[in-house]
Structure 1
Amino acid sequence: MIDQQIIHATQTWLKSFIIAFNICPFAKREQQRNSIRYRVARPNGLENTLETLSDECDYLDTHPETETTLLIFADMFADFDDYLDMLALAEQLLIAQGYEGIYQLASFHPDYHFETETEDSDDPANYTNRSPYPMLHLIREESLDRALANYPDPENIPVRNIKLTRELGLEKLQALLVACYAEH
């Protein structure tokens, strides 16, 4: 797949799920402002993945008009456990490079599932963090803090999303995710 197709699938997911169902109440504004950067990363190995993340932090440092980045790994980290290992190293990298409190990571993966007592991968609530491709969402903490301060009851966002995804049901959520690929 070419990068533009991967970006298009990601944008479709963002619009048709994240924004349409208000999963992230802050995404619509940034999408309308065109301040979301989509970067398809094709690193060859874990070390290059971390270098790519570091480069993206540097990019955000020098481009204040870009609010956030979706770093998309179309060719790597298909295995969810491998993805989680990379995520842990990525979070350590942000701390080591002095980015703690400046940027934070949100994680998305096609097979995302929350750790629960049952670890039910079929729980529709997992779809709050399922995406067409493995990706890291690099967020400016200062902007997130501002958005949360102006949002009524931000602690309820995850609770609302879990309730919503369970009401939508597994079949509809699976279809929404599959539809992201169908447009190209």
Structure 2
Amino acid sequence: MNPDPTAVLDPIAHTRAWVERAVIGLNLCPFARAVQVKQQVRYLLCVARDTDTLLAVLCDEMRLLVQAEPAQIETTLLIHPHVLGDFADFNDFLGVADAALAQLGLAGVLQVASFHPDYRFAATEARDLGNATNRSPYPTLHLLREASVERAVQAFPEADAIYENNIRRLRALGPRGWAELQAQCVRDAHG
């Protein structure tokens, strides 16, 4: 049975499917599988419709993450489908997020990674599939523990090559392959 393409998707289910199929399935992040399997990824849906509310939720989540045991919550994906849909606005908000980290005294403790449906690296064409390394179904802020990132990088001998390998992998997949993967994520999200 094919799901109704007009049916509204659950953003958490859709994001989980993207993590499974794209991030883990394409090995875009070799560190993601372990935390996903151990259920240490917190998927948080933020229904904010303005940046002030999103910022408040983000700050609350930063506080929660640093207080949580890593064995329970290693990382958080803060999914916010109703605000910062425009990539330029989203990109500008990253400075606000980093300033909030600093204001909370969490610079060097946490970091914010960014994913967006229209993600675009500087000096690339919008249609360059290399941008898909950071393209998620919805605008998403990823909170990571700095200590965990450092341990992961030390354990992975060629961490600097991940980014370049991902771009090659996605370009080899091609537009049709990427579209098929996205369609599978939608089907997975429908259950």
| TM-score normalised by L of structure 1 | 0.93
Partner Cα distance (2:21, 2:169) in 1? 15
Which 5+ residue runs of structure 1 have no aligned equivalent?
A: none
Q: Report 1:11-160 matches (<5 A).
A: 11-64=16-69, 65-116=72-123, 119-160=124-165
Q: How many residues align?
A: 181
CA offset digits 1:110-147 (Å, max 9, x no partner)? 0101111xx30111100000000000000000011011
- 1:61 offset after TM fit, Å? 2.0
Counterpart amino acid of 2:75?
T
Structure 1 stretches (4+) deviating beyond 4 angstroms? none
- 1:40 offset after TM fit, Å? 0.3
CA offset digits 1:12-33 (Å, max 9, x no partner)? 0000111011100000000001
- 1:44 offset after TM fit, Å? 3.6
Partner Cα distance (2:49, 2:85) in 1? 14
Counterpart in the other structure of 2:3: none
Counterpart amino acid of 1:99?
L
| TM-score normalised by L of structure 2 | 0.90
Partner Cα distance (2:45, 2:101) in 1? 20
Counterpart amino acid of 2:103?
A
Which 5+ residue runs of structure 2 have no aligned equivalent?
A: 1-6
Partner Cα distance (1:182, 1:150) in 2? 35
